[in-house]
Amino acid sequence: MKQKSPKMIAERVLCETEKFRLVAREMGLGTDMRETWEIVEQKGIGGARCIALTEKNELIFVYEYRAAAEKYVLRFPTGALHEGENPKEAALREMEEETGFLPKQIEHIGTLLPTGGYFKGLPLSVFFASDLVETGKVKPDLGEVDMEVRKIPLQKAYRMMENLEFDDSSTIHLLVMLKKYLRDKEKAAS
């Protein structure tokens, strides 16, 4: 038996900042039951992430301080889409700004929707990048001035994922996505 989705009855904005909205949604849960859910919604038009693999079979990560985590985390180059920019352009821009590398080959491999019980993020277009050229044109944003580029061998990154050594859950998700993409690509080639 298929469950009926809850229906929104009313919504009000509790707080709004430059990047987020906190909303209260009154939801009808079928029959006469109602519940109010408070949700943090990310504002904007989306983002892009770039999983880059070097010729030496190393993944390119960035290591930076994340205020919400209250510590440094290892993650893939990521950024918000600018007005009028498509996800591929954003992925290329962020890759160069954060790492100083540009790929000659880039392919969209999926979309990640960071969301949970209380947070509604924007969709992130995920790209696989290869055949990298080092431009040296690193241009970190204000909050990224202490960011470090780290190259980690692919198999070591998979082991780190399996051992839960990444603090950023989306990095784990992207590594699973990458593993499937590379496996499917290998099957198609054989």
pLDDT at 142: 58
Question: 114-136: per-residue pLDDT in tens?
Answer: 777 888 888 999 999 999 999 87
pLDDT in tens, 32-89: 788 999 999 999 889 999 999 999 999 999 999 888 889 899 999 999 999 999 999 9
H/E segment holding residue 151: strand 148-153
- What are the start-end ranges of the H helices in 110-168? 154-162
The residue that leads in pLDDT, 47 or 138, is 47
**Segment 173-182 mean pLDDT:** 96
Q: Per-domain residue ranges for the chain?
A: 7-42, 47-189
142-147 contacts, C-beta under 8 A, 24 or more apart:
143/65, 143/67, 144/62, 144/64, 144/98, 146/64, 146/65, 147/62, 147/63, 147/64, 147/98
In the numeric block, the tokens 């909050």 are attached to 143
pTM of the model: 0.85
Where residue 5 falls among pLDDT bands split at 50, 70, 90? confident
Q: Kindly report the number of other CB atoms within 10 A of residue 104's CB atom.
A: 9
Is domain 47-189 in CATH 3.10.20.30, yes or no? Answer: no
How much is the pLDDT for 141?
Answer: 63
- Dump pLDDT digits (tens) for 139-170: 766 565 678 999 999 999 999 999 999 988 89
- What pLDDT score does 143 carry? 61
